Amino acid sequence: MTGDESRLVLTPESETINHENLGALQASLDVRPLLAPGKIDRQKLIVHVNGYEGFNQDVCEEGVQTFSIPAHVANAESPMQIDFLHPNYARPCDVSRGSTDKKLLSFQVRSMTLTSIEK
């Protein structure tokens, strides 16, 4: 993720998913935060799904972060809009000796899954 905000828009195919009756979902994000010993020891990550704040934590190590999305939020809109706020971004050239990378980075997202939680 670059800068301070990212957005993902998911549009279910009506033939395969009844998006009006999804039920609650569990979201899992496998992330690796940009960290630099002595300079950056955590990255803030806030996730909004259709305006609902599902996740708001400081991430201090790589791994899977999970949160629930209530059924009324998952069913609220189609497409589903997921906003990621990551305000502690940094440029690798400012925190790593020898780096010339000037991109504003915060997280590497390895995978994201949404799993239906049984009703």
Give me the mean pLDDT over the 29-55 stretch: 94
**Sequence ranges of the domains in the chain:** 5-116
- Bridge partners, residue 90, by sequence: 105
| 77 HSE (CA, 13 A, CB side) | 10
Pick the CATH number of 5-116 from 3.30.1370, 2.60.120, 1.10.10, 1.20.1530: 2.60.120
Give me the mean pLDDT over the 20-35 stretch: 88
Model confidence at 117: pLDDT above 90:
no
Model confidence at 65: pLDDT above 70:
yes
pLDDT computed for residue 74 by the predictor = 83
pLDDT computed for residue 68 by the predictor = 95
Give me the mean pLDDT over the 34-39 stretch: 90
With CA atoms as reference, report the closest residue to 62 among 31, 107, 34.
Answer: 31
Binning pLDDT at 50, 70 and 90, where does residue 118 land?
low
pLDDT computed for residue 107 by the predictor = 92
Tokens representing 72? 């009324």
pLDDT computed for residue 2 by the predictor = 76
